[in-house]
Every structure is written in C-alpha cells, then in structure tokens.
Amino acid sequence: MAHDPDSARAEAEEAQRERARAERARHGQGFGARLGSAVKEVVVVLAMALVLSFIVKTFLIQAFFIPSESMEDTLLVGDRVVVSKLSPTLVDIDRGDIVVFDDPGSWLDPVPEVNRGAALNGVRDALMFVGLLPDTSEGHLIKRVIGLPGDHVQCCDAEGHLLVNGTAIDEQVYLRPSADENHQEFNITVPEGRLWVMGDNRGDSSDSRYHDPGGTGAEGSVAIDLVVGKAVVTVWPLNRIGRLSDHDDVFDDVPDPGDRAVGMAAREVPSTR
C-alpha cells in the first residue's frame, strides 16, 4: 500500500504538538505543586513562630510599654522593657527589684482606648496576645519593691530616708533628684504574701502610700499573686538599651523582719569615729 508523505508528516507534527501540550501540563502541575508546598511550609513556619512567641510571652518573658512618669528617671515614658516571668514563680523577688503587676483595684484611672478601626485593633490585639508587640500596659503598673512580707517600712528619719526594719536606706542612686522633697509619712508592716511598692519619682507616683487609707499596709501593699514579673532590661529606644539594676546593695544592711530589733539597735548606737 502506498504511503502518503503528507499524512505521515501531519501525524508527526500532531504527535509533536501532543507531546508539547503534555510537557506544558506537567510543568504547570509541577509549578503548582511546588507553589502549594512552599505556601504550606510558610504557613507551618509562621504558625510555629506564633506558638513559640505565645509560649515565651506566657511563661518566660514579655515586653511592656512605659506609659507614665512614676519611675523616672530610671524609666521614661515610651520606654519598652522586658519582664522576666520567672519571678515570682521560680525566682524570688527581692527588695529593690522593679516589678510589673496587675492593677490591685482602682489604682489606675480609666484610659480611653485608641480606636484605629476594627481591622487594625484586631491585628494589634492579636500581636500583643502572642507577644509580637509590647503590651500597652493598660491594667498594669510598674514600681520598685521596698518592703517584703513581714517588713516594717516607715517614712522617714531626720534625713528623709526610709526605714526598713529599723535601718535607714539611702536611695539616691535611683530616686529622681527632686523626689526626696515628698515625704508622705507612713508606718506599716507588710502583710504576708504582699509587697510594699513605690515609684522612683516619689513626687509623682501613685503607689502603695496613696492606697492605704487604714495606715496598716493591708490595702496599700500588693499581693504577690498579682505580680506579672520582674523588669530586667530596657530594649527601646536604642539609646536607652541596657540592663535594669535591682540596686539590692541599697538594702544590704536591712535585717530580716525577725531581726528588726538588731537593726534598730545598730542604727541607734552612736559612731565612735
């Protein structure tokens, strides 16, 4: 039977076109598969990052924004600080530590929430929830621990120094220079499970002194259970990055509550020099 060259050439061209179509289909499927795989990988990595950030924020560290002047000049308005949540659960709180705690009740005035729109508000709240944005500190306060459970704290001696368990402490290393002009008198014993806290800017700090109408320390002190953690470092702005010292040396000579009499005796003995 005779072979038609034109027919054979047409068949060959059609076969070639079919192979090209198949190759393009395979290439398209391969690209789609690779793109789908890449998207899945990105989603998994982001999900893991969010979960890790949430775990870190919940159990280890959390960033907070400083909204007020009560801790000046140690902390300024707008500073961002990192708080270790190992305290007080795993690491004890000491005198001199700077702690963030939940509002014990009516310490803070209501702050109107800035409305950036439902979408932006939702994104901001979600990022704060997982720890990718610093907490705006709404509902939280930051102060320095002056008295531990059982401590007797009093203001002030003739030189304007606080007395802790009968021992005068010199706070000039962290107090705002003009703060020593404000000497609101008090004489309290810190109840068990609570802390007596004060701001470094004593002239502009609504702290334990102003929330203790009974003058016993029972209301002005803060329950340790309300402590979120201990502020350990300033991370923003860049020119203020640095570790936050707890200044425990200020309290080195303070005796334990049970040794208060010894502390008082030591303070009352005249110097022989």
Please answer whether residues 158 and 164 qualify as being in contact, where contact means their C-beta atoms are separated by less than 8 angstroms. Answer: no
For 55: left if phi > 0, alpha if psi spans -120 to 50, otherwise beta; the answer is: alpha
> Which residue among 87, 143, 221, 230 is the active-site one?
143
User: What is the gyration radius of the CA atoms in the chain, in angstroms?
Assistant: 32
Omega prior to 110 cis, within 30 of 0: no
> What are the angstrom distances between the C-alpha of 63 and each of 16, 97, 136, 180, 252?
64, 17, 9, 30, 29
Of the candidates 108, 257, 95, 122, the one whose C-alpha atom is nearest the C-alpha of residue 188 is: 257
Active site residue 70: yes
End-to-end CA distance of the chain: 133
Cα→Cα distances 247→63, 96, 153, 182, Å: 21, 6, 18, 21
In the set 70, 205, 208, 221, the catalytic residue is 70
Q: Is 87 a catalytic residue?
A: no
Residues taking part in catalysis: 70, 143
